[in-house]
Structure formats: C-alpha cells, structure tokens
Amino acid sequence: MSLKLKSGFEFDYENLVGEGRVTRDDVEQLAPQLGKAHKAMDTMRKTGVIKAHLSKDGTPEKVLFSQLPYVEKGNLNSPESIDRLKKFGQSMRNRIDTVISLGIGGSFLGNKVLFDVQCGSFWNMKTREERDGYPRVFFSGNNIDPRSTKDLIDYINHAADMAMHHDKKNPHKYKVMLICISKSGGTLDTMSNFMVIYDALMNNPNVEVEVTAVTDPNTEKPTLLKKMAMENKWESFAVPDGVGGRFTIFCEVGLVLGAAVGFDIEAFLAGAKQMDIDCQNDDIWQNPAMLNAALKFIASEKYGRSEEVMMPYGDYLESVSMWYIQLLAESLGKQFNKEGKEVCYGRTPIVALGTRDMHSQTQQHQEGRLNKIVQFIRIEKWTNDLTIPNVFPQAHKLADIAGVTMGQALEVARQSNADALASNGRFNALFSLPELNAYYLGQLLYMLALSVAYEGELADVDAFNQPGVEAYKRIMGPKLQQVKSRG
Ligand code: PA5
C-alpha cells in the first residue's frame, strides 16, 4: 500500500495501515477533523492565518512558510531575491576560502541538511578546483563549546599562514566569510561564537574577514545583529516575519548557505512547490502530508505510539533526521491545546541512521516498549553506486555478497528491518525518493513541514509557537549575569 506521486516520490504505509495497525476505519472516523484541517491549510495558504496562533509576545502572527516555494513577485521568495542569492553564491567562487556559518536551531539545522546533501563529508578536504571554486564550509554557534571553537580558530589561523607564506604560486590573505544567522539577532550560542571568532580572526594579519548577517529585516526596530550590519555595512539577508525557525530552510536562511556551495536552490523550491500543489488534493489517500499526519496522529492517540524514530538510510541524510527532530518537537510537543486545556501532546522524536543504528537501536525498536513508529527514508537510485567486488573468492561468506551494489545491499538491509519490525507488530513507514537531489529533497522536507501543520490542527495545538523553550531562557539570563558579576 503506497501513495506514489507523479514525480516518483512515494509514501509507503503498508506497515502502518491494516490488521493490527491503524485501520481504514480509524481514518474514516477522523474524516470531519481532517476536513477541517484541510480547510485550515487552505486558509493558511491564502491568508497566512492559523486559528489561535500567537507570536512570542502574545500578538496574532501570520504563518507564511507555505508561501516560500512560490517564487513570485511580491512574495518572500521572488525572482529578484533568488537572483540576488545566486549572485551572492557566484561571488564566493574563487574568492572566499572559507565560510563559517554561525547559527543554532532553526538557524543551523536546515543549512546543515543542504550542506550535507550537496557536499557530503569530504568537501573541506577537496581542492578548490574539485569544489568548483566554492569555499570550504564550517558550522559554528550550534553549541558554546570552547574546545571546538578554539579548534576552528586554530585551523583557520594555520590555513591562513599556509596561504600567505607557503602558497608559492599565489601567496594571499586568507578570506573568511562569517555568515551570522539569528532571527532575534542576539542568541547567546550564536553570538558568543561570533564574537570569539570575529575577534580572533580580525587580529590575524593574514586573514581578511567579511561578514554577512541573516536576521529579521526590520530596520525601524532592528535586532542587534541588524543594527551591527547597518553600522558596519555588512551584506544582509532576511529571516522574514511569519517564518519560524524550523521552516527557514525554504527562505534566505537556508538558501544563502545553499547558494554559497552551488546547491540548486531553484530545483529545491520547485520540488517543494510541486509537493504543495499535490497536497491541495482533498482526497486523503492522494495527499501525502494529510495522510502522514492522520496516520501518525491516530497511531499516537489510539495506539499509544508516542515516539517517532526518523531513520534515513544513507550517511548524508542523518542531518535530515536532526532537522526533523526540531520540526516535530517544537511543532507538536505542547502542554496546552488552543483552548488552553492541558493535553501534553506530541511524540518524542529520535534520530537514527540506517544501517548504522540497526546495530544498536534496533533491538529497542524490535522488542522494547510498544510505543514507537519507525519512519524510514530511502533513496531508490544512488548516483555512482559501487558494486561489491569478488576480491576474496575463497572466503565464501564474502563471495556470497559480491556482485551486489552497495545501494542494493543498503535497501535489502532496510527492507529486512521493516519486515522484521512489522512481523512483531511494530509500526513503520517509508518515504522513498527516486534520487538524492535538490528537487526530491524539497519535496520531502516540505511534505514533512506541511504534515506537522496538519497534525497541529488534528491535535488542536498551535504548531507554530514554541513557548517551552522560553522556560530555560528565563533562568539562564540572570544566571549568566551572576557569573559575570562574580568575575
Ligand atoms: O525554532 C526556533 O525558533 C529556534 O530553534 C531558533 O531558530 C533558535 O533558537 C535560534 O534563534 P535565532 O535565530 O533567533 O538566533
């Protein structure tokens, strides 16, 4: 049982629907709520209004992420803004040696996805030619760890020394672009790293530093970062109003980093747009976001599946799982519903990676508490797939697997995991992408974003606020001041 879109994107729910699982009858019974949720999505698309959604300061706020795939004049992503991003990306080539992308949460996770899918793990070890002139990229600001920040500074200082004193053909100042991303413009994790790195690099005569700020664009009430950008004439891009951190991969936050490494941002948005169009279908069995939301909601509410394991198969997709953790946790993990009644809704998201975690977590998925949905992601066709060669014909166990491609073996492992889980009453489902490229990535991520929006309506919780993250912040601010005053 699956829903396959024209693009080839497929949602296989065979192991989530049927006898001993979510039933079609369960879905039928949800029809009135689904109808309402579908209407709410339509209203959100047309007006940006989501019932009862309030911003952090308690005022009504629009929800605009569903506009982002539509590159149109007057929209948040317009032909002009995409053109500017592309120019920004081109301006990096053969000019900037290294980009340091600073941000946390929604100002980091999506960017890491785009980087991983486009560049993989070995990008920074490649030559400039192999990188097609694009810069090396490091991430910072997603922790406040003195050791890793110092390691990064040491690395840049060393690279700058090499560029200035040991590059015989082209001795040059090492050019670093700090892309500082913060919607609020003052997040401790991001800004502490920014200040430490900026100060260290500015004090190195072999380094030339440029800064790009990505923040709330409001110039009348500018964020701290916006103010600094205006004062220092740093180039700046926008985290627009109405786009929460977990949706910013589709706006300039994600697209700036994508452009800086030659990621096809237009194909990415085109994939998201086609998904949005497909998800306007009011037949639940033809609408992947609505179907996914309904099945997960029923699995949670009726069958006690309160944890969701996001398990892509393929190394460079692990960050998709990390991105999804924020999306699910911040959108649906809510104590109160829209009427103020305590509901404590949500599923605990868990990062897993196939095949790696089959050798660790799978024991718990297979036999542990019956409270999980395991959500797989697979790539159907790997570019440059490798065939396992018959190098040790005497070793029968190894000879048996020779001749199979690694992509085939990966999929056999995934299917075996899915079958084993299903055979023991363990709910699981699959999102299948024909290939790993910008278009299908856009399809997948947008479908997931829209799915939590649907589920917010089904569970009657505000999927677009995150009041829970304010609690620790209220404690942390004064604590830091105490530390400072103690010296
Ligand atoms: O979803 C969110 O809003 C958070 O994860 C934020 O993105 C994160 O706290 C970083 O905030 P800011 O972009 O304001 O620095």
Q: Is the pLDDT of residue 167 over 90?
A: no
Q: Is the pLDDT of residue 180 over 80?
A: yes
* Beta carbons of 213 and 234 less than 8 angstroms apart: yes
**Does any ligand 1 atom lie closer than 6 A to the CB of residue 190?**
yes
Pocket test for ligand 1, best of 104, 252, 257 (most atoms within 8 A of CB): 104
**Does any ligand 1 atom lie closer than 6 A to the CB of residue 183?**
yes
Looking at ligand 1, which atom is closest to the CA of residue 330? 1
Cα 267 to Cα 440: distance, rounded to the nearest angstrom = 9
For the chain, how far is it from start to end, CA to CA, in angstroms?
63
Q: Is the pLDDT of residue 170 over 90?
A: no
Q: How many A from CA of 5 to the centre of ligand 1?
A: 33
Looking at ligand 1, which atom is closest to the CA of residue 108? 7
**Does any ligand 1 atom lie closer than 6 A to the CB of residue 245?**
yes
Pocket test for ligand 1, best of 107, 215, 332, 469 (most atoms within 8 A of CB): 107
Q: Is the pLDDT of residue 347 over 80?
A: yes
Cα 359 to Cα 249: distance, rounded to the nearest angstrom = 31
Residues above pLDDT 70, as percent of the chain? 100
Q: Is the pLDDT of residue 423 over 80?
A: yes
**Does any ligand 1 atom lie closer than 6 A to the CB of residue 330?**
yes
Q: Is the pLDDT of residue 469 over 90?
A: no
Q: Is the pLDDT of residue 266 over 90?
A: yes
Looking at ligand 1, which atom is closest to the CA of residue 189? 15
**pLDDT band per the 50, 70, 90 thresholds, residue 57:** confident
81 versus 468: the higher-pLDDT residue is 81
Cα 117 to Cα 155: distance, rounded to the nearest angstrom = 24
Give the pLDDT confidence of 425-455 residue by residue, as tens digits: 999 999 999 999 999 999 999 999 999 999 9
Q: How many A from CA of 164 to the centre of ligand 1?
A: 37
Residues above pLDDT 90, as percent of the chain? 94
Q: Do domains 2-49+269-469 and 65-263 have the same CATH topology?
A: yes
Q: Is the pLDDT of residue 330 over 90?
A: yes
Q: Which residue has the tokens 């912040």?
A: 473
Strand partners, 176: 98, 209
Q: Which residues are catalytic?
A: 330, 359, 473
How large is the average pLDDT for residues 389-414?
Answer: 96
Query: Which CATH number does the domain 65-263 belong to among 3.40.190.10, 3.40.50.10490, 1.20.1250.20, 2.30.110.10?
Result: 3.40.50.10490
Cα 382 to Cα 436: distance, rounded to the nearest angstrom = 7
How large is the average pLDDT for residues 212-232?
Answer: 97
How large is the average pLDDT for residues 215-227?
Answer: 96
**Does any ligand 1 atom lie closer than 6 A to the CB of residue 105?**
yes
Q: Which residue has the tokens 């829903």?
A: 3
How large is the average pLDDT for residues 466-471?
Answer: 87
Q: Which residue has the tokens 């099945």?
A: 295
Q: Is the pLDDT of residue 484 over 90?
A: no
Degrees to nearest 5, angle at CA 179 with 177 and 182:
165
pLDDT of amino acid 178: 98
* CATH superfamily, region 2-49+269-469: Glucose-6-phosphate isomerase like protein; domain 1 (3.40.50.10490)
Cα 453 to Cα 43: distance, rounded to the nearest angstrom = 12
Q: Is the pLDDT of residue 487 over 80?
A: no
Looking at ligand 1, which atom is closest to the CA of residue 106? 7
How large is the average pLDDT for residues 197-223?
Answer: 97
What are the structural domain ranges in the chain?
Answer: 2-49+269-469, 65-263
* Beta carbons of 251 and 243 less than 8 angstroms apart: yes
pLDDT of amino acid 364: 97
Reduced DSSP (H G I as helix, E B as strand, rest coil) percent helix, strand, coil of the chain, to 5: 50, 15, 35
Mean pLDDT score of the chain, rounded to an integer?
A: 97
Q: Hey, CA dihedral for 62, 246, 325, 474, is it positive or negative?
A: negative
**pLDDT band per the 50, 70, 90 thresholds, residue 474:** confident
User: What is the CB-side half-sphere exposure of residue 208 using CA atoms within 13 A?
Assistant: 9
* Beta carbons of 57 and 184 less than 8 angstroms apart: no
Q: Is the pLDDT of residue 132 over 90?
A: yes
**Does any ligand 1 atom lie closer than 6 A to the CB of residue 142?**
no
Whose CA is closest to atom 9 on ligand 1?
105
Looking at ligand 1, which atom is closest to the CA of residue 190? 15
* Beta carbons of 121 and 59 less than 8 angstroms apart: no
pLDDT of amino acid 56: 84
Cβ neighbours, 10 Å, residue 224: 14
Cα 18 to Cα 247: distance, rounded to the nearest angstrom = 33
Q: Is the pLDDT of residue 141 over 90?
A: yes
Q: Is the pLDDT of residue 58 over 90?
A: no
**Does any ligand 1 atom lie closer than 6 A to the CB of residue 465?**
no
**pLDDT band per the 50, 70, 90 thresholds, residue 137:** very high
Q: Measured between alpha carbons, how far is residue 408 from residues 181, 308, 392 in Å? A: 39, 26, 20
Strand partners, 181: 214
Cβ neighbours, 10 Å, residue 337: 17
**pLDDT band per the 50, 70, 90 thresholds, residue 473:** confident
**Does any ligand 1 atom lie closer than 6 A to the CB of residue 249?**
no
pLDDT of amino acid 95: 97
Cβ neighbours, 10 Å, residue 448: 26
Cα 31 to Cα 398: distance, rounded to the nearest angstrom = 52
